[in-house]
Amino acid sequence: MKRVALVLIVEVLSVRWSLAATATFAPVGPTTVAAGTDVQMTLTVMAQTLPGIDAADILIGSTDATDLLFTYSAEWIATFDFVKPITPADGYYYPQSILIGGNNPTPVATPLLVGTLTIKTNGMALGTHEVRIDSAVDDDLSGLFLLGLRDPLFGTATFTIVLCPGAVQACCRPNGACDLIEADCCLEQGGTPQNSGATCQGDGDGDGIDELCGDLCAGFPNVDTDLDGVCDSDDRCPGAPDTIDSDGDGVPDCAQQIPVVSTWGLLILALLFLTGSKLNRGRGRELAGQT
């Protein structure tokens, strides 16, 4: 019977160790920011298998954040008899990390608001980044405790650094490329913001010019060999200007063919000329006789 009781205790402990406490990051402000703008998040912890906690060890880490700062909440300070000093722990499982926590002689209920994390983004690359609390990474350092029992602690949060935060719209670059960025940023980079709601249409013909940004030859390479302002794909008179239309008939001068006279046509013209000449000479004699 004693052996059976021991087995049951071991099974209960294994279940407790298999479940994890949660660390929840909640944004205080925007999580999509320009480099150099701080990102802030509150941190709340919640035990899963323990009815309460009497200690907490929390390592917050990041692989690429330049600096992490933390401020305890009034709730955390009032709840714990001993609040651990906020200790930078760079290189301790993460390139950037801080260690926080607390102890109390009697159990306290969760969830508990631990405090506010501030992420300094100076010098960070554009893109999405992460901060985390991960008991599997830090060799079971992070956890919530009660009378020696432990809930491993896990939680992650992401934030994004962009060139220009704010509402984005289509921006046509000087080289004809198109990006979706904020209008002021587009202007700063020499681009032309498009109408609100406009989107980049893509470069279907592979000439590097987006269809929205003045692709003269949509569907064909943007090539104008004779520099007449008409793409080769639409050029009616390669090597000659398509834009000159002297008679305004909508057909370029270069495309208007000079009439070609056939051999029979030349013969007919010659006969008509000869006939006309004879008639004129005969008429001349008649007029001379009358005088």
pLDDT of residue 168: 79
For residue 267, being part of any structural domain is answered with no
Candidates 39, 208, 235, 210; CA nearest to 121 is: 39
My answer on whether 108 and 175 are in the same domain is: no
Res 212: pLDDT? 87
Q: Is residue 280 part of a domain?
A: no
- The answer to whether residue 3 sits within a structural domain is no
Predicted local distance difference test score (pLDDT) of residue 14 = 33
Please tell me whether residues 72 and 114 are part of one structural domain.
yes
Query: φ, ψ for residue 168 (rounded to 5)?
Result: -105, 155
For residue 57, what are the β-bridge partners?
101, 143
pLDDT confidence of residue 9: 32
The CB density around residue 278, as the number of other CB atoms within 10 Å, is 10
Tell which of 162, 189, 220 closes a domain. 162
Does 119 share its domain with 170?
no
Residue-level pLDDT at 221:
61
Same domain flag for 40 and 138? yes
Verify that 133 and 24 share a domain, yes or no: yes
Low-confidence ranges of the chain (pLDDT < 70): 1-19, 215-230, 232-236, 239-243, 245, 247, 249-250, 253, 255-266, 269, 276-291
One domain, residues 149 and 23: yes
pLDDT score of 10: 31
pLDDT of residue 228: 63
124 lies in the same domain as 191: no
Residue 201, pLDDT score: 87
Domain encompassing residue 234: 166-242
Q: 276 in helix, strand or coil?
A: helix
Same domain? 125 vs 210 = no
Question: Is residue 93 a contact partner of residue 61, using CB atoms and an 8 Å limit?
Answer: yes
pLDDT at 214: 77
Judgement on whether residues 156 and 117 belong to the same structural domain of the protein: yes
